[in-house]
Chains A and B, each alone.
Chain A
Amino acid sequence: MSDNKGKKVIIETGEAGKGTSELSESANTEELEERALSVFSSERNEDITALVFCLITTFLVLLFTKWMV
């Protein structure tokens, strides 16, 4: 385990995908790469925020194009 921690891998990240970063080999690189390309700390937060924004948008659109017309 300690050997794994010592080894480094390079993933595509930074500069919105243009650069690279060095990480421990045991790190979840896919997850880190994903997070490096997002402003959210987790995918769950990103999804829930998108869902809430869209529901608010849909409600407002329904309000102004259907219910109040």
Chain B
Amino acid sequence: MPRVKDHMPVLIMGGLLIIYGLIVKTGILLPMMKYLHTHKAMDLQMTLTLIVGGIVIVGALINSVKEPGNSILDRFFLQPLGGIVLILVMAMAIRWYLEPLVKIMSDSLQPLLGFNVYKVLNLNYVVLGILAGVLLTNTWGIPKFAEAGVKCARFVLKMGVIMLGARYSFAELAKLGVYSVWLVGFFVLGTVFLVLWLGNIFKQPKSMTGVLSAGMGVCGVSATVAVAPVVKAKSAEMAYTIGTILSFGIICMFVFPTIGHMAGMNPVQFGAWAGTGILNSAQVAAAALAFNAVDIKTLKVAEIFNITRVLFLPIIVLVLATWFGKESGQKLSFKSVVIDKFPIFILGFLLLFGMSSVGMFSPPSHYKGQYIDVSYNDRTQVTSEEWETLKKAMAAGEFSALNPEQLAAVENLIEQRQIAGNYAERNDGKVFDRVGRARMAELEGVLAAAKAKELTLSSDVKSGIKHAIKQVHKKSKTIVTLTDFMIWFFAFGLIGLGMQITKKAITQAGGWPIVMGVIAGITKAALSFFVVLWLVKDVVLN
């Protein structure tokens, strides 16, 4: 084995992975995993580390005896093996240890700070992965054995973007209120074009402008990650965009509720404004709750506007892919500037989006794999103990403080033992579904009022209602599994891209992304403020 010394780090990592897999198998780590809430992934941790460790050792041994060549095996497996395993180990450490730890620390700091750092700063595997990559490359540097493997990052990131398509459905967009779709659509497209125009004015690279426009227009981090390979954004440009969006969002999260109160906005108006003007989903929810923690309507409306905005992602990807193809091409035919330059992997994203929209993965009306099913089902019922508790509470007059709609929803829950539509209307799917969902919304309102101490309910009653609501919230196993793949692809890709962000690259991007982001963000927030005040009265939902 002439080159075994060169491949020693890879062999060691492979060995460590196998040792880790065996330790997990013994169950010694279970208490720690339970503390970190990662115990459900115990089997995955064991299987993945054992398989990857085995493959890595075999690959490193082949590398040690074989002369480097230019075959497919060499180019795509043997040469990049060191980098692939390094990034995978980092991704595992982030997914199984760092992210759960950050979550736990954020939860314990929440009472002190008043907000959840993990959610608000979006400190999930996306941001942590990029930061880990940046940290490694700017401190110790990328180890020599890993250099070739880092080049796989963009390819794996593209696979993540394709998988992202499965999480959205056109049916969900079509179901949302026409009003919110128009309003949000106008602001999403308006912001995208504003940033593109600003980029032109400030003479910024197309890749930077493209990725920033998606980030500022649609849904922050996921849009940035999805659009980055479309407009061939450099890693530093992507990191800058994410930084700009998150910092701008944090400011909005504190400023929006104050302005909303000063302007005398009602809950629906504020929900619409926050859902349109703030980019990050967690920041939207935080602002809505800060404005009004009692009226569930604020949060609901904000979420609907937020979902509408997120669902514009496939459209924006298409728009930017066309724009980039057109901008970077010469003035030739439509085919040569748009079709030939259209990124092929985006067809995969659109294909999965299409499959998701026609209901191949779950009922078409889903959002990120979650959907509400209020049809009759034994498994959707509350337990007999919960049912008895609710009946007794009703007889004891515990629900007397509820408004008539909320009371009717609780009465119906007791009558049917589950959240559902009217039995007589069971053959008319649409009406049945609408009535069931309305009852669920009323019950959510009851819980919100109890949480805000507007009414007093016993903990058993609250838990019964909470369980009934949980029972009608379903998750598609197919989309959950596809999402798991997406998360691993993104984690891998983003750590690798983070490794390409050097201090020099960050300096080269300069401060323009922040300037453009702030201009676009303030314009959008201000315009949507006036439009919402002018147009949104009370009913924005269908």
Contact = CB atoms under 8 A, between A and B. Distances in A.
Given A37-B151, A37-B154, A46-B155, A54 B348 contact: yes
B502 A61 contact: no
A25 interface: no
Nearest to B232: A34
A12 B509 CA distance: 13
A9 interface: no
A57 interface: yes
A18 B348 contact: no
A27 B397 CA distance: 81
Contact of A61 (B343, B485, B500): B485
B200 to A, nearest CB: 19
A39 B75 contact: yes
A51 B348 contact: yes
Contacts of B351: 55
A15 B147 contact: yes
Interface in A1-53: 12, 15-18, 30, 34, 36-40, 43-44, 46-51, 53
B477 A51 contact: no
Contact of A66 (B150, B162, B361, B501): B361
Contacts of B158: 46-47, 50
A9 B351 CA distance: 40
A61 B478 contact: yes
A65 B504 CA distance: 46
A65 B155 contact: no
The size class of the interface chain B forms with chain A is 35 or more
Nearest to A49: B155
A51 B152 CA distance: 15
Contacts of B137: 16, 18
B539 interface: no
A55 to B, nearest CB: 7
Nearest to B158: A50
B361 A50 contact: no
B159 interface: yes
Contact of A62 (B142, B159, B478, B504): B478
Contacts of A49: 155
Contact of A17 (B163, B347, B505): B505
Interface in B346-368: 347-348, 351-352, 355, 360-361
Contact of B360 (A37, A43, A62): A62
A22 to B, nearest CB: 17
Contacts, number: 98
A18 B499 CA distance: 9
Nearest to B77: A39
Contacts of B355: 58
A61 B344 CA distance: 22
Interface in B175-226: none
B159 A17 contact: no
Contact of B151 (A38, A44, A50, A64): A38
B157 to A, nearest CB: 9
B154 A65 contact: no
Contact of B477 (A38, A39, A66): A66
A37 B500 contact: yes
Contacts of B147: 15-16
B151 A16 contact: yes
Contacts of B79: 39
Contacts of A17: 150, 235, 499-502, 505
B76 interface: yes
Contacts of B481: 61, 64-65
B97 interface: no
A39 B148 contact: yes
A66 to B, nearest CB: 5
Contacts of B502: 17-18
Contacts of B499: 16-17
Interface string B137-149: 1000110000110
A21 to B, nearest CB: 14
Interface of B: 75-76, 79-80, 83, 137, 141-142, 147-148, 150-152, 154-155, 158-159, 162-163, 166, 232, 235, 343-345, 347-348, 351-352, 355, 360-361, 477-478, 481-482, 485, 496, 499-502, 504-505
6 A-B pairs closest in CB distance: A17-B500, A47-B344, A16-B150, A47-B345, A51-B348, A54-B162
16 contacts: A15-B142, A16-B137, A17-B150, A17-B501, A34-B232, A37-B154, A39-B151, A39-B155, A46-B158, A46-B345, A49-B155, A50-B159, A61-B485, A62-B360, A62-B478, A69-B477
Given A57-B163, A66-B478, 8 more contacts: A16-B496, A17-B505, A18-B141, A18-B500, A39-B76, A46-B345, A51-B344, A55-B348
Interface of A: 12, 15-18, 30, 34, 36-40, 43-44, 46-51, 53-55, 57-58, 61-62, 64-66, 69
